[in-house]
Structures are given as structure tokens and as C-alpha cells.
Amino acid sequence: MPRVKAQKPQGITDVLKNNQEWSKAMHESDPNYFSKLAHQQNPEYLWIGCSDSRVPANQILGLAPGEVFVQRNVGNQVTHRDMNCMSCIEYAVDALKVKHIIICGHYNCGAVRGALTLPGKAPGLVNLWITEIRDVRNANQAQLQELNNHDKLDRLCELNVIRQLFNVCTSPVVQAAWDRGQELSVHGLIYSVSDGLLRELSPCITSMTDLDTFEATVEEKPADETPAGEAAATDGEGATGEGVAAARGAAGTRNLRKSNTLKKLAQGFFQSMSTHLYFERTSVGADCSTPKAADATARFVPPTIQEDAAAAKPVLDKAEAAGADVAAAKAEEPKIAAVHPTEATA
């Protein structure tokens, strides 16, 4: 794909000019580019990420327009109550038949920082929006309170991705896709703005049965492993053998701590999914498959609400019948007034 060296826009006029230059460059590179793009959309990836302007999905993944379907919001949230996100997942899975769903957070996320520093009573819709991140914070108090502020922010960014991974895997659309054997993988990633790299926070999840082996897929690095760049820098300083060994030992400790962190994240997700499956199989029933002919709207409505609506139907029917009687009585009032004008006036 050709690169266009555009000037930093100062207003909408500059943005439109940049667009014209980009369009011209694309035409020159491939005269049929836009005509082909206009008649097809066949992405293999659904990206659910943060609205942060520094985290553009296509550029990070190295994919062209038309190759990734994108859902972005503040803090890369995936809640079952968000009809925007749920309908996006439904369209991507059921209509576009994407093969991969990527939930991607990023370090130094403002929404996550807000969950750590913004008072719950602070006004504003964003404060309300990040409520679930606060729930993740509260559920992981023990490990978060041991960290300094910088590491605490990074860890909560990771934990937030794991929570949203859980929400995607338990969403009705994804559950139904797996039940019918559709090829669909879910991935939890985190992006570092400081180096432009994506890092995996979870193994690839392709079905509910993957959870049985989830915990075993997180491997610990050897304690004496040192990144090549760090070892070279240490040797270049002319340090003694003891100093090099100490540096490598410290690096190994950091690597081990990092691998243990990933293991804790995996274990947390595994435990959440195990709890979910327990209630699905014991309270809801052993067969958790979604009926093929199920009402599409029921996929987004919790069972308790459906049950409440069913229980309320007789009452509503009676009220409707009573309303009809009242309406009929009112319709008779003019006739009564015509026959008995004095009584009607009284």
C-alpha cells in the first residue's frame, strides 16, 4: 500500500486535501482498488479496542481497509448490555463470518487510570462508563495493592482485557457460533504505545472446551533467561563477571515475575469461566446450546427478564381487558346522555 506523506492538518480543509492526495495515490497504485473494495467486505478479524487515537487497528495489525472489522469504545469494554458492541459482534460473526475476535487493550489507558484515580461520585458519563473496570479493580485488590502506581496501572490494563475476553466468550452470539461448530477464535492482546508491539495475554480460545487446558498453556520462562539486548548492554559496560551474573539474575527475576503475572491472568480467566460453566450446567441445565430457531431478540435478553415478562403476561392481559371495558363504557356515554339528558347532566 503506498504511503502518502501528508501535512499535519490544521483544519477540515487540510484533512480533505490529505484525503484527495491519498485517494490519488491509491488510484495510481491500483486503478481498480476502490472498485474492488466497494463490492466486497470479507474480513477475517473483528477488532474490539479502545477509542484512543494512538491505537489504530489497521495500522497496528498491518492490514488494509476491508481486512478488519472494527469496534472501538472508551476502555475497550465488552458488556452484554451494550447493544452497540453486541450487535457489532453479531454482524461480524453471523454475517461476515469472521474467524478471529481480538480484544485489545493498551498500556497507560486513560479509562483504566480513571478507574484507579477518579472518585466514583464524580459527575459525567465517562465515569459511569468505566464502572466495570472498577469492578475488575475491586475483584483484584490483593494483587493490585502490592504494586506501585505505574505497575498497578499496567496490571489493571491487562486485567481489564481478560475481563472483556470473558465477556466475549460468554456472549450469546459467540456461544451460539461455537455450538454450531463455526470456526471462531478469541484472543486477548495488549498494545504498548511506547514500542508499537502487541503482546498476548491469553491463549487462543476456540471453544468452551479449550478452557480445560487454558491454565497449562501459560509457560514460565527460565529464571536465568536474559533478553539479548540487555545482556549485550551489560557486557558492553565492562562489568565484572559477578556484576553480569547479578544483572542477569535480576533480569531473570523480572522475566519470571512477568510470566507469573501472565499465569495469574490466565488463572483468573480460567476461574471465571469455570464458575460460569458451573452455573450454566447446574442452574440453567446441562444442555447450554442455543436453539437454531430461537427468537433473535431473546439472545440479548437475560432469562430472568424473559421469565418475569412471562409471569406478568396474565396480569397485563387482565389490565388490557379492563381497559377495553372502560373504553366500551365511555363509548356508550353519548347514547345514555341522548336517552336520559337530565340524568346525564346531573
**54 belongs to the catalytic site:** yes
Predicted TM-score of the model (pTM) = 0.65
Give percent of the chain above pLDDT 70.
58
Say whether 295 counts as a known binding-site residue.
Answer: no
- Residue 95: phi, psi to the nearest 5? -95, -50
pLDDT band at 320 (very low <50, low <70, confident <90, very high): low
User: What's the confidence (pLDDT) of residue 237?
Assistant: 40
Whole-number average pLDDT of the chain: 75
264-275 residue pLDDT tens: 666 666 666 666
**Orientation of helix 149-169 relative to helix 172-179, angle to 10°:** 50
Residue 327: HSE in the Cβ half-sphere, 13 Å Cα cutoff: 6
User: What's the confidence (pLDDT) of residue 81?
Assistant: 92
Going by C-alpha positions, the residue among 65, 78, 68 that lies closest to residue 98 is 68
Rg over alpha carbons for the chain, rounded to the nearest Å, is 28
User: What's the confidence (pLDDT) of residue 51?
Assistant: 95
Active-site choice (109, 154, 155, 157): 109
Active-site choice (27, 54, 150, 340): 54
Say whether 52 counts as a known binding-site residue.
Answer: yes
User: What's the confidence (pLDDT) of residue 11?
Assistant: 87
C-alpha cell at 159: 486485567
The mean pLDDT value for 126-141 works out to 90
The mean pLDDT value for 140-162 works out to 92
Lowest mean pLDDT among 26-35, 70-79, 228-237, 312-321: 228-237
Going by C-alpha positions, the residue among 50, 3, 288 that lies closest to residue 164 is 50
| Spans of all domains in the chain | 41-301, 307-345
Going by C-alpha positions, the residue among 168, 200, 199 that lies closest to residue 184 is 168
Say whether 195 counts as a known binding-site residue.
Answer: no
User: What's the confidence (pLDDT) of residue 107?
Assistant: 96
User: Which is higher by pLDDT, 122 or 262?
Assistant: 122
The mean pLDDT value for 1-22 works out to 78
Three-state DSSP state, 9: coil
Give percent of the chain above pLDDT 90.
44
113-130 residue pLDDT tens: 999 998 888 888 988 999
User: Which is higher by pLDDT, 303 or 275?
Assistant: 275
User: Which is higher by pLDDT, 279 or 110?
Assistant: 110
Fold of 41-301: Beta-carbonic Anhydrase; Chain A (3.40.1050)
User: What's the confidence (pLDDT) of residue 64?
Assistant: 87
Burial classification of residue 181, based on how many CB atoms lie within 10 Å of its CB (0-12 exposed, 13-18 middle, 19 or more buried): exposed
Helix-strand-coil split of the chain, %, nearest 5: 60, 10, 30
User: What's the confidence (pLDDT) of residue 96?
Assistant: 95
pLDDT band at 188 (very low <50, low <70, confident <90, very high): very high
Distance, in Å, from the CA atom of 45 to the CA atom of 336, rounded to the nearest integer, reads: 70
Active-site choice (85, 88, 100, 106): 106
Say whether 88 counts as a known binding-site residue.
Answer: no
What Å distances lie between residue 141 and 107, 135, 152, 298, CA to CA? Answer: 19, 10, 10, 35
Whether pLDDT at 240 is above 50: no
45-63 residue pLDDT tens: 999 999 999 999 999 999 9
The mean pLDDT value for 189-213 works out to 86
The residues facing 69 across adjacent strands are: 46
Distance, in Å, from the CA atom of 44 to the CA atom of 93, rounded to the nearest integer, reads: 10
**295 belongs to the catalytic site:** no
**52 belongs to the catalytic site:** yes
The residues facing 189 across adjacent strands are: 104, 200
To which residue does cell 495489525 refer? 61
The mean pLDDT value for 21-34 works out to 91
Angle at 139 between CA 202 and CA 80, to 5 degrees: 65
* Cβ neighbours, 10 Å, residue 100: 18
Whether pLDDT at 258 is above 90: no
